[in-house]
Amino acid sequence: MKPHVHFREIEGRSPGYYALLGLLGLLVGAGLVSALYMEIEGHWVTGMNNRIVWGTPHVFAVFLIVAASGALNVASIASVFGRLQYKPLAPLSGLLAIALLVGGLAVLVLDLGRPDRLIVAMTHYNFKSIFAWNIFLYTGFMAIVAAYLWTMMDRMGRPYSKPVGLLAFVWRLILTTGTGSIFGWLVARQAYDAAIMAPMFIVFSFAYGLAIFLLVLLAAYGWTGRPLGEGLLRRLKNLLGIFVAASLYFVTVYHLTNLYAAEHTGVERFILLEGGIYTALFWLGQVVAGYLLPMAIVFSPLGRSRGWIATAAGLVVLGGLAQMYVTIIGGQAYPLILFPGKEVSSSFFDGVVADYAPSLPEVLLGVGGIAIALLAVAVAVRVLRFLPEDLRDELVEAQAAAGGGDGSGTAGGERSGGAAPEAAAAPGSAG
Amino acid sequence: MSGTDASRRRFLAGTAAAAAGLAVAPGVLLMPLAQARRAGEPASSDVRWGLLVDTTRCSDGCDACVRACKEENGWEGVGRPKTDAQWIRKVKVRDPRTGHTQSLPLMCQHCKHPPCVDVCPTGASMKRADGIVLVDKHICIGCRYCMMACPYSARSFVHEDVRDQREHAPRGKGTVESCTLCVHRVDAGRVPACVEACAAEGGGALVFGDLKDPSSEISRRLAAHGAEEIRADLGLDTGVRYYGI
């Protein structure tokens, strides 16, 4: 019998597994209690105010939503771009995409002024609003990725894997375009109002999604003791380095473009030089921790160590949160330009940098969103066959050479017939 | 005797006329501005309500318009300036090159192309046919995207429980609100509270009226002296215009 990749549920009986579930459950609970507190008391108990209307919950929510679309990339690389070595990772990639999106949307919804009116958002639409489009883009994404998972994990679905994978890939590009355009289309604010926001967010999503994917993969295989090949990790960490470099490129172009226009030098001076916490978070958080250190790690001999790969991925996540903080909160903190060239002042804090400090309930709500995503993944890999039992390089390569193991990864659409044992969760294929 | 009577009659007549004049004048002044709509009659696109701010008559120390709006619409804060609502505020504008300063009221600019209405996912932010931009408090979910989009910081989020609401200006914790151009008064054929207060206590800097009616005072003033929009570069075609900025 030819070697092939088997999928199997994790055992999930160890004290460590239950401790993980307990910890994540606690964080989810803390997030929900925070949301309830904010709703009952009103938003005055948070750091948000009439100048900083989107605060820390949005930093986490937008990060998770952007990362969600990026987490799907691993699956897309296999089924859209035909790199079959990534195929055994595709189910986890789809699972993470859905879980991260659910986590992000939960935070976004629970931070609404009237979360109890969510049904209104489902029954009243203004189709000129990107938010309204996003309601369809997000729910559509979940449905399409769920279908995509079905094509990977059920024999009946396999023939549809390629078209559904392509649809999911196109959909995720549109989705992140929508997320970036939430900011890019805001004409009023100096830090936004830029077409580059949409493609920049897409590139960010590649990096953030892959970083979280790597962390979850390393944790899952490390904690369950399942073999994970060095070659596979090398590909993934190199890809992460490329995505991070591309993010740095987009950020550089964005700032250079703004610096060139006299009308934007004020906001650039604020973010790059004089913005206090925002300047510190930009340079130390986004650039050094988020871009330079991860690239230095993955492209140096350090990148051979799993610990360092995890460190690099963790830094990309922290850099991503810093980027969202600078973009979302820094972008609001810089005052609106009411009268170009004039100084303005008022009782409503016109003309001055807005005050904002994250409050505990906001942070707990944001962390709760991450916990929702991770809890969903932890439970899903316990009850369904998302994770290959063995990801040694020779197995992965042999299966890729044989055409990927099933229909979902074949670049030219050709199926490998007899050389394709049931890789996914077909009954009886595992254990 | 008769001389005394005549003088007393003249005095009484004069006082009565003055009193009558004082009582009637605001009505006479305001009558041509608006005609009351019947209940249930939709707003008409034949009119576009607008406001002209003559900044040359607006003084730095005066906040009559702000006080009147607070009283009329019941948005008195609770002493938390960062989260308390402000439907209208006085803004001081200073040219750093010359030191020239001005003071003006800033509120919802009732744009013809309002960014808040564009971005609102549920359609709670809306523009009436007569140009007044409002928030439907029943379908606002409190996402604050409109506040991100407004170039004028004209909107406030209700950060806590509200008390002493006015019957004609409902408010709600967790929703967004802003200047309604005193729509309840306009629909009843009256002018906004700020305009009335500015005429009575302030410098008479505010002129309210129909921008589509060439014979209205606001249209005549705009035709004669011109006026600017704040952030005219954004092309929003605001209903509030400023003279002297």
Q: How many CA atoms lie within 13 A of A200 on its CB side?
A: 22
**Mean pLDDT across A293-298:** 98
Q: Tell me which DSSP letter residue A388 carries.
A: B
Q: How confident is the model at residue A423 (pLDDT cuts 50, 70, 90)?
A: very low
Q: What is the pLDDT of residue A198?
A: 96
Q: What is the pLDDT of residues B22-45, one digit of tens each?
A: 554 444 444 444 467 777 888 889
Domain extents in chain B:
34-243
A43 touches chain B (CB under 8 A): yes
Lowest mean pLDDT among A298-302, A342-346, A392-396, A404-408: A404-408
% pLDDT > 70, chain A: 93
Lowest mean pLDDT among A251-260, A325-334, B27-36: B27-36
Helices A56-71 and A197-224, interaxial angle, to 10°? 80
**Mean pLDDT across A206-234:** 96
Lowest mean pLDDT among A126-140, A189-203, B10-24, B228-242: B10-24
Cβ–Cβ below 8 Å for A348 and B153: yes
**Mean pLDDT across B129-135:** 97
Domains for chain A: give ranges and CATH numbers: 15-232+360-419 (1.20.1630)
Query: What's the angle, vertex CA A359, arms to CA A355 and CA A365, rounded to 5?
Result: 130
User: Which of A126, A185, A338 is facing B120, going by the closest CB pair?
Assistant: A126
Q: What is the pLDDT of residue B18?
A: 56
Q: How many CA atoms lie within 13 A of A158 on its CB side?
A: 24
Q: How confident is the model at residue A4 (pLDDT cuts 50, 70, 90)?
A: confident
Q: What is the pLDDT of residue B38?
A: 77
By the 10 Å C-beta count (0-12 exposed, 13-18 middle, 19+ buried), A417 is classed as exposed
Gyration radius (Cα) of chain A, Å: 22
Could you give the residue ranges of the DSSP H alpha helices within A384-419?
393-401
Q: Which two tokens stand for residue A81?
A: 């771009």
Q: How far apart are CA A41 and CA B173, in angstroms?
A: 9
**Mean pLDDT across B154-180:** 95
Cβ neighbours of residue A77 closer than 8 Å, sequence gap 6 or more: A83, A86
**Mean pLDDT across A337-352:** 95
Q: What is the pLDDT of residue B149?
A: 97
Which residues on B lie below 8 Å from A130 (Cβ)? 119
Question: Which residue type sits at A390?
Answer: D
Cβ–Cβ below 8 Å for A188 and B151: yes
Q: What is the pLDDT of residue A227?
A: 94
Q: How far apart are CA B140 and CA B134, in angstroms?
A: 11
Mean pLDDT of chain A: 91
Going from the C-alpha of B192 to that of each of A42, B10, B136, B189, the distances in angstroms are: 30, 38, 19, 10
Q: What is the pLDDT of residues A104-162, one digit of tens each?
A: 999 999 999 999 999 998 899 999 999 999 999 999 999 999 999 999 988 898 889 89
Q: How far apart are CA A313 and CA B166, in angstroms?
A: 55
Cβ–Cβ below 8 Å for A124 and B173: no
A318 touches chain B (CB under 8 A): no
Fold of B34-243: Alpha-Beta Plaits (3.30.70)
Q: Which two tokens stand for residue A247?
A: 């993010």
Which residues on B lie below 8 Å from A44 (Cβ)? 80, 83, 159-160
More confident residue, B107 or A390: B107
Q: What is the pLDDT of residue A137?
A: 95
Residues 61-90 on A with a CB inside 8 Å of B are none
Q: Of A6-20, B9-23, B177-191, which one has max mean pLDDT?
A: B177-191
For residue B20, pLDDT beyond 70: no
